A and B are shown apart, each in its own frame.
Chain A
Amino acid sequence: MKAKLLSLVCTSSLLAMSAAHAADIDVKITNLTQGIYFTPILIGAHSSDAHLFQTGQAASDALQAMAEGGSIDALSATLDSINANKLANPAEGLLAPASTTMGSLTTTDSNTTLSIVAMMLPTNDGFVGLDGWTIPTEAGTYHIYLNAYDAGTEANNELVVDGSGAPGTPGIPASPGAAPGTQGSGLTTMETNTMVHIHRGNVGDDEAIGGKSDLHNTVHRWLNPVAKVTVTVK
């Protein structure tokens, strides 16, 4: 009797582990920050060996384009090329501070892990990210808290410069919300850690004109986590 029960348990867990099955999921994302905007968000369900980004690794060109300029086109193409299931730009533009957006996704085949990225504005190359979260097979509601990352591709000079969203052009392309300061001298020209890493945060200053940074130190800082994700597996 006991042996029979045990073998049943083993069989069902093996089935669960090897299952490559479709799932319907809702993904809700809340920007938890008080003064940082998220540019278009990219959500992808993909095989567990794929990554949109990895800490300790150099950013791909596609990730750099997202982190410096907010463009998710190249990363979307990457997801398409690996037969991922994606949900691009659910907020239809910027997701403002303390705001929420939501979307649905049907996963296919072996797309068992979930990744999320969006640039954080105003930053030089900061983004909110989720790297390869295993989608539970059990129906339910799951909460995940996301940190802010630095792509490691651009020096955090904190200067707002038109057109600087192009990869390799220093500067922050825009500051939605609070109007940025002007004529800052720039905090740094160096990026010490050129791999993807946890963002050290914006510094900002308290001068509307001049100072080192064009950002405001009472508005544009944050503490982790910066986003809450609620995944509902149906």
Chain B
Amino acid sequence: MNKFTPIIPLACLLLAACGSDNDNNTTITPVPPTPEPEPTQYEFKVTALNLTNAQPLSPLGAALHTSGQFWTIGEMASEELEKLAEGGDNSGLLGLSVVNASTSGDAPLGPGKMTELMLTTTSLTDQKISLISMMVNTNDGFTGLNSIDVSHMAVGDYAKMHTRAYDSGTEANSESSGSMPGPADGGEGFNAVRDDIDKVAMHLGVVSNDDGLSTSVLTSEHKFDNPLMAVTITRVK
């Protein structure tokens, strides 16, 4: 993480100016009521690059929150996570009560493509960023960042990370016709039935028809390995 701190000299200058004003202030004048100060805006930029060969990523959801996690390895997926992992719908996760600011990409992020998402908040304390997206040519595979603490970042600081592939454990990885919403299949997204281990784990990859799963509609093109995305979080304001 690179540290640039242009804001500190500026703050010093302002403080010095205030000090000298107070020293010279000898007459008492009624102070007009000051308007509420504009709350300070803090802003983060999240850029994400899809590193896969042929796994479009459903519209990326990014959120600021101070508590909670979108997923935990070994625990059951929430229904909101299941909807994301099976159908690419991030609205449930971004709508969780712990989320205090969020933004979503407006289209899937294709292989080799980069996107940029902005998040703003008026408080830095305990802020964490989470990022979430489905690999759409899978049954219930997703990738993202889980509660990255950004509360100590200064303006200009950035952090580079890679994301890994997870499996929500809510749908068996049949890879069969009609079971995946992405362009390789055009099949079903979310289905409330849970027929897998019902625990979030890391994804074991897609098998594909080319690699021995005769009922799979996927080809070797759709295989992936970790990492899935290259992500940079920058505090811009």
Contact = CB atoms under 8 A, between A and B. Distances in A.
Most chain-A CB neighbours within 10 Å: which of B165, B169, B213, B214? B213
B74 A99 contact: yes
Interface string A89-101: 0000000011110
Interface residues of B, number: 26
Nearest to A206: B213
Given A225-B202, A225-B226, 13 more contacts: A30-B74, A34-B201, A34-B204, A35-B197, A97-B199, A204-B212, A206-B207, A206-B213, A217-B207, A217-B212, A218-B207, A223-B164, A224-B226
Contact of A206 (B73, B167, B212): B212
B205 interface: yes
30 contacts: A30-B73, A30-B74, A32-B202, A33-B201, A34-B202, A34-B203, A35-B197, A98-B73, A98-B169, A98-B199, A204-B207, A204-B212, A205-B212, A206-B207, A206-B213, A206-B215, A217-B207, A217-B211, A217-B212, A217-B213, A218-B173, A218-B174, A222-B204, A223-B164, A223-B202, A223-B205, A223-B226, A224-B226, A225-B164, A228-B73
A234 B165 CA distance: 32
10 A-B pairs with the lowest CB-CB distances in the bound complex, closest first: A98-B201, A34-B201, A98-B199, A32-B202, A221-B204, A98-B74, A217-B207, A218-B173, A206-B213, A222-B204
Contacts of A220: 204
Nearest to A221: B204
A33 B212 contact: no
B225 interface: yes
Contacts of A204: 207, 212
A70 B115 CA distance: 46
B219 to A, nearest CB: 15
B172 interface: yes
Given A98-B199, A217-B213, A33 B74 contact: no
Contacts of A50: none
Contacts of B172: 218
Interface residues of A, number: 24
Interface string B212-223: 111100000000
B82 to A, nearest CB: 15
Interface of B: 73-74, 164-165, 167, 169, 172-175, 197, 199-205, 207, 211-215, 225-226
A161 interface: no
A225 to B, nearest CB: 8
Interface of B is mostly: loop
Given A34-B197, A97-B199, A205-B212, A223 B74 contact: no
A221 B205 contact: yes
A220 B205 CA distance: 10
A218 B202 contact: no
Nearest to A219: B204
Contact of B169 (A34, A217, A219): A34
A203 interface: yes
Contact of A223 (B175, B199, B203, B213): B203
Nearest to B199: A98
Contacts of B214: 206
Contacts of B199: 97-98
Contacts of A32: 73, 201-202
A101 to B, nearest CB: 11
Contacts of A30: 73-74
A137 to B, nearest CB: 23
Nearest to A212: B212
Contacts of A205: 212
Contacts of B215: 206
Most chain-A CB neighbours within 10 Å: which of B164, B173, B202, B214? B202
Nearest to B225: A223
A221 B74 CA distance: 18
